[in-house]
Structure 1
Amino acid sequence: MDVNLTNTPVPNANKALWEKGDFTRIAAAMRVSGEALVKSLGLKHGIRVLDLGCGDGTTAIPAAQAGANVLGVDIARNLVAAGNDRAKALQLSNICFEEGDASDLVNLEDREFDVVISIFGAMFAPRPGDVSKEMVRVTKPGGRIVMGNWIPGDPTLVAQILKISSAYSPPPPEGFVSPMTWGVEANVIERFEAAGIFPDNITCEKDTYTFNYPGAATHFLDQFRNFYGPTMNAFEAAAKTGRSEELQNELDLLFNRQNQARTNDITTIPASFLRVTVRVP
């Protein structure tokens, strides 16, 4: 039996992953789509919104600009600080960011929010069953939950980045549940049904999120290599086996093939995701 005799807290691998790089570099390419997604939600002035796995506010800040009172929660301390800095610079008094784990929202009361949003955020949290229960718990009756989840095996950018990266990485620990399982409709329904939601109150549809980067696709890949935790880990693992160049070439081909910009000095890459909407009775 493995006993922690020193009472030292066990490191949270998820926290370490997202604090490892600087996801704000990636998020900068996601702003336009984040604003469009929030606009599609038709948020009413004055409602309470929770954004889980919010990063530095790609959807949380547009929600606040739409007039909602927003709490952004993320496990990464650096991203929480970056979000609060952005809110301050934009002089937004109706939003704040704080650290928290989507699997265990210990600081949040039951039935506290009108809308809970998690776009490519809570899907990466451990214990997906706990994630769905926590999202339902903190949502007011009559409220809704909106998730954006990458789809396993999808041919577009992010699913392929994660698929390629995993091929160069060590096998995950025992009991690990892939975040990509949130991109399967049957799993979504099963998890929310276990949290007390009838399937009729759950809708899933395929949607598109576009990355816009002011530079060549190869340079956009550099942002992922240097600042995106999963890709950073893949390159570190590949370096140990002498496969860094192989990984670089495979990803470079992916980024350039998927770039739909008309010129080579900018990057526009659409990526498919599963958009989940849950009505909480």
Structure 2
Amino acid sequence: MTVSTINPNKALWEKGDFTRLAETMRESGEELINDLDIVPGINVLDLGCGDGTTAVPAARLGTNVLGVDIASNLVAAGNARARTAGLTNLRFQEGDASSLDDIADHSFDLIVSMFGAMFAPRPFDTAREMVRVTRSGGRIVMGNWIPGDPTLIARILQICGAYTPPPPEGFVSPVTWGVEDIVRERFGEAGICNDRIMCTRGSYTFRYPGSPSAFLALFRNYYGPTINAFDAAERDGKRTELQAELGRLFEIENRGGAFRTEIPATYLKVVVQK
């Protein structure tokens, strides 16, 4: 008898509807793409692309974009956005950033992964795959949340981790991609010289036309790690405690006032020149 196994990473990101959160990230996604000095006609791979927060603006600049995400619902949403926008140079497909089996070597001029590939399992494999599919002279640009950072997403992940069961043996935390020395080690193992890896701090702003508590509700209902944490807290009788802890965080970090939410979050920007 064949026993089907569920990829836990796929199950995590197919929970809820991340497109609802992605709407709050659009402006910063466009800003990031516009800062990359992209020229029309190049081939771009967006890894862990969601429904196209960076893939859509890259395609609007005249590039040929493939978005790859492990979540089938986000792939479907991305293809729908591309059709609605009339972007025939943009398509989305399912895939695992740590195993890009159907993508040929040296296929892309630019790899972009904003808070996407960092969540893939087997980070050394992920680095090797990104390097493998990048042409000589091409670039890899990653945005990764930073462990222990006091700003929004790192704190959300830290708080939620305290309410969920311990991860399975062998689990590597996604936020290790936010540690410069570890990033350099992973790309070094993939054949990239240290002087071709640049790491800087960047800021990514979430913008939501509502109160911080309403914005938190989006995370509670649509963001996989937060959904898991609330489910676990409910079982342990700690849901109110988790809600209060996250509520304080969102209020403190908000820069938009009582009726609008603007929360900047620091990340590690990694640029690899192949």
TM-score range, shorter chain: over 0.9
1:227-269 CA distance string (max 9 Å, x none)? 00000000000001100000000000000110001x3111000
- Could you say which residue in structure 2 is the equivalent of 1:222? 217
1:270 has 2:247 as partner: no
> What is the alpha-carbon distance in structure 1 between the residues aligned to residue 90 and residue 28 of structure 2?
20
Structure 1 residue 272, shift from structure 2 partner: 0.0
Residue in 1 that maps onto 2:12: 17
Counterpart CA distance in 2 for 1:37 and 1:9 is 39
CA distance in structure 2 between the aligned counterparts of 1:205 and 1:131, rounded to whole angstroms: 20
Relative to the length of structure 2, the TM-score reads 0.99
Larger mean CA deviation between 164-173 and 7-16 belongs to: 7-16
Matched, 1:143 2:143: no
Which amino acid in structure 1 is aligned with residue 260 of structure 2? I
Quote the RMSD (CA, aligned, Å).
0.5
Aligned ranges 1:20-169 → 2 under 5 Å: 20-169=15-164
Identity within the alignment, %: 61
Following TM superposition, where does structure 1 have runs of at least 4 consecutive aligned residues deviating by more than 3 angstroms?
none
> How many angstroms apart in 1 are the aligned matches of 2:73 and 2:233?
26
Count of residue pairs the alignment pairs up: 274
Instruction: Provide, for residues 82-107 of structure 1, a one-character-per-residue CA deviation record: whole Å limited to 9, x for no partner.
Output: 00001111111100000000010011
- Please list every run of 5 or more consecutive structure 1 residues that lacks an aligned counterpart in the other structure: 1-5
Q: Which residue of 2 aligns with 1:3?
A: none
The structural deviation recorded for 1:10 is 1.8
Give structure 2 stretches of 5+ with no counterpart.
none
**Superposed, which structure 2 residues align to 1:121-270 within 5 Å?**
121-261=116-256, 263-270=257-264
Partners of 2:102 and 2:34 in 1: CA distance: 28
Give me the TM-score of the superposition, normalised by structure 1.
Answer: 0.97
| 2:273 aligned partner, one-letter code | R
Q: Give the C-alpha shift of residue 15 in structure 1.
A: 0.1
The aligned amino acid for 1:264 is A
Give the distance between the partners of 1:194 and 1:226, measured in 2 at CA: 38
Per the TM alignment, residue 21 of structure 1 is displaced from its structure 2 partner at its CA by: 1.1
